[in-house]
Structure 1
Amino acid sequence: MSRASLDKDPHEVAAMFDGVASRYDRANSFMTFGFDRRWRTTTSRVLDARRGERVLDLAAGTGVSTTEYARGGAWCLAADFSVGMLQAGLHREVPMVAADALHLPFADGSFDAATISLGIRNFVDTKAALVELARVVRPGGRLVICEVSTPTFPPIRFVYRRFMLRLMTWVGRRFSSNPDAYAYLAESMLEWPKQRDFAEIIAAAGWRDVEWLNLTFGVVAVHRATKPEATPPVD
């Protein structure tokens, strides 16, 4: 596993997640001190998936987030590039499909909303993935992304950047046979754009009304956007 960069080999990333799938959810909760559950709950509220809607949960991993979003009665599909992660979540009662974020196997406008939880930073091309998501979401549909961000409180930002790599490397050695995978995840977190910078990437991909909500002092941020309504043809 190479060290993290924003030029990621998608097959290498998929293989990494395949290798840590069986213990990933447990390790994730440990590393976030249980805050991952709160972040999913808040993301679900922002998403506001309703009965009768079709929601794409991309980079869904084992489907733990998909299950949360489906509680309101919406039809939610878990999609991920890592087959190992999907297999680890087969016990969950949500539909699953292996899919490449840059070439989604869905028709235009197939979903009312799309969401990604703590996964978009692993995509090889962030903007291209956001453009592809805009293709499969109907006009007027929603995008909600929960991702690590830059803490707004200086003391927390210092601790976060100083000790995150050490913590995740230790967790990798304790919970996984592939500690380099967790070093990669930590580096990808530290390299991720700040809240406003990521909002600008979302807008550049064709989404509008982009806004964000900081969680846990900005350690994580939930970005929300809308796909523009279709413009009627001019006679």
Structure 2
Amino acid sequence: MADSAMSDRETTHFGYREVDKDAKAGMVGDVFDSVATRYDLMNDLMSAGIHRLWKRFTIELSGVRSGNSVLDIAGGTGDLAEKFSQLVGDGGRVVLADINASMLRVGRDRLLDTGVQANLEFVQADAQYLPFPDDSFDCITIAFGLRNVTDKDLALRAMLRVLKPGGRLLVLEFSKPTNPLLGKAYDAYSFSILPLMGRLIARDADSYKYLAESIRMHPDQETLRGMMEEAGFSRCEYHNMTGGVVAVHRGIKA
């Protein structure tokens, strides 16, 4: 009976492991609880600072302007939200949302220390069940967060719901390198150097091993574009950066 019950449960991937679907959010939460205080430092070291260029391009693609309402999901330490806060001005609104309380706290403290504007709000929220009314935002961004969501299709539909007609979704995420040689070098870096850096700097090799595995399990560029179209987004497109190591997808709510 026990084996039968286990086989009836819905499962999903946690890195390369198959886990109970209901358990994934808590396991991902443990990862980010562990790395929250050193998250920005590790991002700079892992990408040699290039993540800032990826995010700058995402902001340019967003088309955000004065007076807009922006939702930054999995906003973490708030680097995107800070830029959007400056762009939308006093008449706009930026919501930094993250499911993880530790990451949200680090982001809020950092932005408060830098003199955050009154147009910025902080909300603990699950991307699958966004606690906002329909047609609330002109733009939604999710940077390096979608791969950690248990049900990506559910999350994409939730994002579509809270976007205004004509609103834009930008998904910035690790993807699949377009060059096989680059792919091999990237694999060697991800599974050898990255966990070592995690152990030495963040004192947590296992979390960075999971992050490397989660990247490999994330849908490739064409698959994610298809998922966005299936969720109801139109004019879906993507732009590869750094040879496809990272891609930014954009879709519009008709």
Structure 2 gap ranges (5+): 1-13
Tell whether the 8 Å contact from 2:15 to 2:217 is kept in structure 1 after alignment.
no
5+ long unaligned stretches in structure 1: 229-235
Contact kept, 8 Å, 1:49 with 1:70, in 2: the verdict is no
Question: What's the CA shift for 1:75?
Answer: 2.3
Matched, 1:217 2:243: yes
| Aligned-residue identity in percent | 37
Quote how far apart the aligned CAs of 1:85 are. 0.5
Contact persistence 2:144–2:173 (CA under 8 A)? yes
User: What's the offset of the Cα at 1:15?
Assistant: 2.3
User: Does residue 43 of the first structure (1) align with residue 58 of the second (2)?
Assistant: yes
Q: Distance in 1 between matches of 2:15 and 2:243?
A: 27
- Give TM-score scaled by structure 2 length: 0.85
> Does the 8 A contact of 1:208 with 1:226 survive in 2?
yes
CA deviation after TM superposition for structure 1 residue 134, in Å: 0.6
Letter in 1 for 2:44: S
Partner of 1:160: 186
Q: 1:109 is matched with which residue?
A: 135
Deviations 1:53-91 (A, max 9, x none): 101000111111211233322422110001100111223
Instruction: Give 1:93-172 correspondences, 5 Å limit.
Output: 93=116, 94-172=120-198
Asked if 1 retains the 8 angstrom alpha-carbon contact of 2:169 and 2:251, the reply is yes
Letter in 1 for 2:84: Y
The one of 80, 104, 120 aligned to 1:86: 104
C-alpha deviation, 1:3, in angstroms? 4.6
User: Is residue 177 of structure 1 aligned with residue 192 of structure 2?
Assistant: no
Q: How far apart are the structure 1 equivalents of 2:240 and 2:28?
A: 27
Question: 1:12 corresponds to which letter in structure 2?
Answer: M
Higher RCO structure (Cα 8 Å, ≥6 apart): 1
What is the aligned partner in structure 1 of residue 46 from structure 2?
31
Aligned to 1:202: 228
Q: What is the one-letter code of the residue matched to 1:77?
A: V
Instruction: Write the distance in 2 (CA, Å) between the matches of 1:145 and 1:189.
Output: 14
Deviates more, 1:151-160 or 1:105-114: 151-160
**Structure 1 residues 103-112 or 156-165, which shifts more?**
156-165
Larger Rg: 2
Deviation at 1:196, TM superposition (A): 0.6
How far did residue 174 of structure 1 move? 1.1
Give the RMSD, CA atoms, in angstroms: 1.5
- Per-residue CA deviations over 1:83-123 (Å, capped at 9, x if unaligned) read 10011122312321100111111111111111101110000
Flag the structure with higher helix content: 2
When normalised by structure 1's length, the TM-score is 0.92
Distance 1:4 1:57 in 2: 28
Give structure 1 regions of 4+ aligned residues with deviation exceeding 6 angstroms.
none
Q: How many residues are paired up?
A: 227
Find the aligned partners of 1:177 and 1:160 in 2 and give their Cα distance.
22
